[in-house]
Structure 1
Amino acid sequence: MTKEQIYSTDIEPLLVTPFPSFILLPTGTIAKGNLDHFDYSTLDMERLNTQPIAHTLFSEIGNDTIESILSSTVPQYLQDVAITTKQQTTTLVTLYTKPTTFEGKEAIYVLCIPNDDIRSLNAEQQQLTDLKNGIHQSFMTVTLDSDGFIIQTNQQFLRTSHWTPKRVIGKTFWQLFPISSDSEKVTQTIWKTLQNGHIWQGDVQKITKDEQLYWVHLTAIPLFGTTPERNQYVLIERDITKDKTVQFQLEKIAYIDPETGMINVHRLAQVITSMIEEQRHFSFVYLSIDKFYTIKDLHDDLAGTSLVMEFTKRMKMYFQDSTMARINENEFVVITPLPEWFTQGFLTYLQQNPIYNGNVAVPLSLSGGITRFPEDQTTFSQLMKASLATITSVREAGGDSILSLSKSSHAALNRKSVVEKRLLLALDQKNLHVLYQPQLDIKTGKITAVEALVRWDDEEIGTVSPDELIPIAEETGLINNIGSFMLERACEQAVVWKNAGHQIKVSINSSVREFRDKNMAKSILETLDRTGCPADLLQIEITEKFALEAEAETGIIKQMRILENEGILFSLDDFGTGYGSFRYMQLLPISTVKIDQTFIRALKSEKTQQLVNGMVQLGKSMNLTVVAEGVETKDQQELLTKFGCDMVQGYFISKPVTNDEITSLI
């Protein structure tokens, strides 16, 4: 291949340069050029056209180097070359040579850049240059103009995307991504972020020239020009296709039910959360197979398949294009925009397309609940709770039905949800307060103890009764927070009364959930120490349900014994309403029993009087202090005094009041 085929013969633009440049023929003569910098005038140049000058200009370098320049067939780069001027002085230059042709003859184009005219990079600029080179060598890079057109790429990008420079230059940023709604949202976000002058970073899916999908971790950086039109954007990408493939495989294992191919409850939560964020309307259909384990035992020998597989085949056929999830072995969820009447038609479809065991149709019955977003509930947790509440109602009515939850039930669930949210705020802002209901010692006629009761008056939802508050607190786990709050306040108040000369015991209610915390006893003792409260002024009230569960959990009994040894008393609340077992009264460190108010209210009945008298005598026989709750009349108190009851508590003595009011009653 000749030089004419390799190099352009158009040397005019190359000669238009502020630096000395010329066309050098193999004979050593100059055909054309500009040597003003070396003191050669135009007239001198005309004479030099016929005189060899190479050896004069390059007199300071060896003949071998000169011959190499004259005979070279490839471009060359030489640093610190000494050039001899017309005045016989020397100047150092950086020399660039390139084979070319001139008027049909072989020639060498020579460019001389004087070292004095080269400004060296400072350390910071050199670091930036090295960083830029490192990025281009390590990552795929694409440069866009202000309108999003591709103006430059590197070889790594070309290899991965299968594009060629000729084909990709001039394409738009958006043409690098697959055509889909998800891709469109991502690219819009990236472009908008860049337009606002910010960096965007994240994982995105792209498409090659031959429409193969691949994944990259993309960092998109805006580069600001002197005007908005001169702005550019650089895309720095790392191929993560292999990592994504492994991730998808792991997610499939984590989020897909292996038997049915449906998503599981963990993936369902993500899907629902995403749909809620996008404000997409849908129905949350929860389906549960009634008496599943009985049916399975009788009919799970279906030839070549299982009962669940046959059921889910019918689900997928009926609810086509809907999202379906398997919650557990016999419960499923369908997310669908279809109307309620269509969902309810699934029962008819199952009757028309029964599952057979041999020649016998398997009698399937379903209980289902339909909850709509956003009309009924607004979070995944609420949708699940509402659906389960609906299924409970359906089963109580006989099952085999798919219904929506009633308006009143939805209202109750909504109220519960609001209470949960407001309770978190109340605990954070310490909006709960404490009232105290006195207990009267019948023998002395003095108030010797009080029961601390939590109260909550919320500015948005009004007064929340203990009967509503405590179950919600136990369900959400916030009962521990309330318990800690009540313990702190009770101990502080007992110390205030003690310092005023009143030995008033303060009772607080505790749940078995709190005592399942192995550090509960330690926490209580630390609170006593911190507040300076004597242990014998604190009494912990437990229910019969607590006592029954504590009997089976040695860890709870151990903690109770630790507290008893420190002087803390335990009282059994709601005595008589529980499980009819008195064994735990021997096992647990109980010093007081409180007869439930339901018995006290019915004291007019002779049988109830006999029952209450028996309770009092049982307590006395076990050396327990007996307290009667719910005393509202003088007759009730007199009767209880006759039975030998030790203390009474109720509205006849006082309703729950503030600590200041208790002080006035003492």
Structure 2
Amino acid sequence: MSRIRRMIDWFTLASVPDELLVAQHDELKPQIPLLYAFLSLNAIGIAYTHYGLAPFWMTVWVPSILGAATVLRLVAWFTRPLGTMSVVAVQRHLRITMGLGALLSMIYLAWAFGLDAYGHTLQHAHIAIFIALTVMGCSFCLTRLPQSALCNIVIVTVPYVLHYAFSGNPVYVAISLNILFVTLAMVRVMLNSASSFEALVRTQSELTRLNHEMTGLAHTDALTGLPNRRQFFAKLDEELRRDEERQGEVVVGVIDLDRFKVANDTLGHIVGDQLLEACGQRFREVLGPDVMIARLGGDEFAFLTYGSPGETWALAVRVCQEFAQPFIVEDSSVFLGASCGLATTRDVSNDANVLYEAADYALYRAKAEAPGSAVYYSAEHESEIRQDRATEAALRTADLEAEMTVHLQPIVWVKDGSLKSVEALARWTNPELGSVGPDVFIAIAERSGLINRLTKILFRKALHHLADLPEDISLSFNLSAYDLTNHETILSIVALIRQSGVRPDRLILELTETAVMQDLETARTAMDLLHRLGVCIALDDFGTGQSNLSYVHKLPIDLVKLDRSFMANIDDPSSRNLVCAAVSLCQSLELTCIAEGVETAEQFALLQSVGCDAYQGYYFSKPVPAADLVADLTQANGSVGL
């Protein structure tokens, strides 16, 4: 019973896969004109040979009506564009084709047998040939729809064979048997062809599915499920080409997770991956389905949207606010935060790379000026970029050995006013740009990949000046995050120390909290190497980084330098209490505490009252050329009367 059920389902197309139905329909369309042309020509031929022998209505009206039906079927087929019909419509159309095909087969057969009653021997032979050729020709035209071809074969061939097998004429009996065997062979070939076609369609369908999957994987971030960089820029290019047709502006937002690196290094990469997945989900919830959000790599994301500056600004601010809320990972609250840079086609040309770079620069300004906020790219930024590019170009072509100099700023002990160390500060004077501030060229050197080369040049000069200073004076030198995480730079620093002949314990290398936490394990390795050499390690700009002193006992840190912001508002009791707390914490950890940015007697008095170890700032001395300080110290024989 099940076999009969399967056969019925196959003949009615109920069990035929959707992709095979569509393929059969598309393959049949170019065959249908041949089928109806074949039928029409054969009908005209048989009507012509019987004209005058058979009744007028059989040789004129019947073929005319059949021809009209043929034209109507052709119109029905060609008014349906290829590949635009639904699967249900395709199935319905093929079933109609099968039903009408069976009906036309019966009508043609009945008409042919009716004509066979008229004429002579040649006309009878023509009828036999007409029926045989018609069933074979139609079957070949319907090969891609074997259900219809088999129906037509059964409807025509069975009556044909029976009619001629019992005609009593041995010639027609032989013809009927020949047609039967040929038809059986043709059916076998047709079924084999149908099976091969079905396998081909199945293979193509699988290849299409795999291709879609591969395309999806190639354009999707595997961790978050968001579009990746490739997909983002492809979509951005597409939308920029359509920008003129849109109402509103194309807006790109670039987002960076402020404290992800710290969380990833301290909590582990597994937790880091879980955080990124959670970030992807939160982005979807905040931005909604109409805004494309992509992960560009690491902890950098970007979104693409449209609208006015006010609308997109509000959207970016909402993202930053939502990411200020904690993530719950493994029953722990993790605070990340996010900063966003925005750029729009209103202010930037319709070029994907330029638009992205503008948003990325706005992100840089957001992280530098107000982490956790959103900054829109503006004409002011355009001017800054041109200036930065000019500075970068000058840095790349400059004779840095000749143009870079080192200034020294004394670090004085609060208790007795003695000068025990100095900080080396970089200065650059370029023939074309003039004097360029370190806050400008250091940041550009970091972004352009020139910082490691610059560090080596300045460190060599600083060591040269340290050799000229009295033996009881140490020198502090700043390392950037890029220096600390670059193995080659750290080894070069070690080599320069050994080549200089200076005692390593006279060197203090200053590292910011941000630099240390950017890649904690790499930073720890570098710090351990330098500390074993005898170099002292200072944590610089404490109070502005991403963490606190809770990790100090885990790292080889000898000194802490309080950021100048601690001293800026000492009239405020809360600021005075903060200074007191920071100094007390250093004392409890047995770390030397140095205050930066001391400019007034009131600030100095506060440091005395709380027991701070040392200070530096304009209250004692601004940075001066190294040669001048060396000369003054030599003349004063090590006193601090500068």
Structure 1 length-normalised TM: 0.43
The structure whose residues are more often strand, as a share, is 1
The structure whose residues are more often helix, as a share, is 2
Structure 2 length-normalised TM: 0.44
